[in-house]
Chain A
């Protein structure tokens, strides 16, 4: 029990924060929002996966990746490829010159399904691929960079470059990837209508459950010795190296884990939104993910989720009325976070949160009074006997 409380929840403060977040996404949102808005929140919450991954990677590990969109995209594309193949059955695509392949391939004069699409006919393979391929790709990048001690700004630039390369590749290889439009028109998952209300509800709750699980696992990592080492590596990398640790392995591991988390978010994005396109892979979405984590508080797993929600609510609200102003506003917000509250929302809560919690002290007082009553009784009975 104490293992769960201390290691998975992070003690009292972490536990309360976790329960409040779970209440918000599992109870309050579904009760208060209509299905359209709930689906929208579900989409935002998929961005929270890469934001949480950046808390581990950047906040604790000091490794700024400006390319989490790569892994978000790989996860999303993996899921989209499976769904697209299912949507492209011979019966559905009978009017094409080559029936049975995705429509965009047909438009690009491709007459046979490319080899790397074949395994995505299997749902089991797709799930494994979503979990393994992005992490494996991260391993290759991480091993190439960290073993050579590439870090800091150089690492950030290289991840950004890879994000650009991947986008260019996806856009350029239109026949294999769907190009700039992405993979669209996804309808069913194993024959089950994804656009139905029940599917939307289910995906929303699966998404929340996965996000909360990811937070719990991340908390376990951060409260272990590995977590202290991450902080130590961020502050004094040489000291860690000369304490007998192979620093690069630790960096590679957290980079792979961050990639895995982001990929899960990407896959859930495809399921809830119904398409995947290169606009969720490149530099802009990758930097947005960094902003989500920064605004939420880069040292706070739960803060990252709130940061993601806040920015995206803001984006939706503002871009509905002032579409041109939104980017300036977000840029301004990012600058003010960096300059005035470097620990983001989580930092503000830490500094000023007690003003709010003090008002709710009466609740805990009520509980305490109830607990103390039977104690009084027992002391009375003792003196009586």
Chain B
């Protein structure tokens, strides 16, 4: 099965079981370059587990995850990140005691070893990059704000920015608009469209309006298996999907 492809992500036969319960069951999922792929599904469908498997938080029972033809299932979490996979958690995971600037600086992909971090210098290049990212995530005016004081939506953007500064080839977002206002949702949708240029993005989402706004390709998960996949309209009209998910 180990074929060489030009896909960003190729998941094949991926299975993980917790005490016999198969949270993800022989899953196949492919993500192309520059693709914005959305995974939807009811609670307990195994969406977050898929992200956990890709980023190494959970170890697969069997199957393979290939990222740019590199097998990820054997790598440690930080090695997967360094290979170019970024993951945003469902609840905003930012360093509340640090300022927005420091949050981005800590995420800057240099000085990642103990010695490197001790000798890390905040030079012009770093500052410029941080400003660039802050502008992208609409937080340029809040650079010196302690990040605990940001609104919920801004915290989500900051975490996305912390991933962007590492310039990942694959960006995975777990429910990025949960708890956001209508306006923030729109802004986040635009942000996702902007940042999906030049990289692949994998989004897990509950909010169907938001999915319709951003999605190119949609995969519906149900009980660890793929129920349907394809374009949004096609998936929305699939009777199986309507039954398990959209119908109620």
A residues with CB within 8 A of B: 220-221, 224-226, 228-229, 231-232, 235-236, 238-247, 249-250, 253
Contact = CB atoms under 8 A, between A and B. Distances in A.
Contacts of B102: 228
A229 B117 contact: yes
Contact of B114 (A231, A232, A238, A253): A253
A221 B120 CA distance: 11
6 contacts: A228-B98, A228-B105, A235-B97, A238-B57, A241-B78, A246-B112
B90 to A, nearest CB: 12
B113 A242 contact: no
B34 interface: no
B215 interface: no
Interface of B: 55, 57, 76-78, 81-82, 86-87, 89, 93-98, 102, 105-107, 109, 111-114, 117-120, 159, 162, 166
Nearest to B162: A243
Nearest to A234: B97
A221 B119 CA distance: 9
A243 B120 contact: no
A243 to B, nearest CB: 5
A359 B77 CA distance: 54
Contacts of A246: 76, 78, 112-113
A6 to B, nearest CB: 11
Contacts of A241: 77-78
Contacts of A238: 57, 89, 93
B118 A221 contact: yes
A85 B102 CA distance: 52
Contact of B118 (A224, A236, A247): A224
B200 to A, nearest CB: 17
A243 B106 contact: yes
A225 B106 CA distance: 7
A235 B95 contact: yes
A242 B87 contact: yes
B94 A239 contact: yes
A32 B91 CA distance: 57
B105 to A, nearest CB: 7
B112 A245 contact: yes
Nearest to B77: A241
A249 B166 contact: no
A225 B111 contact: yes
A229 B87 CA distance: 18
B114 A243 contact: no
Contacts of B82: 244
Nearest to A240: B106
Given A236-B95, A246-B113, 7 more contacts: A226-B114, A228-B95, A231-B95, A235-B95, A239-B159, A249-B114, A250-B114
A238 B52 CA distance: 12
B120 A236 contact: no
Contact of B81 (A220, A224, A231, A243): A243
A121 B232 CA distance: 79
A245 B93 CA distance: 15
Nearest to A243: B107
A194 B86 CA distance: 60
A104 to B, nearest CB: 41
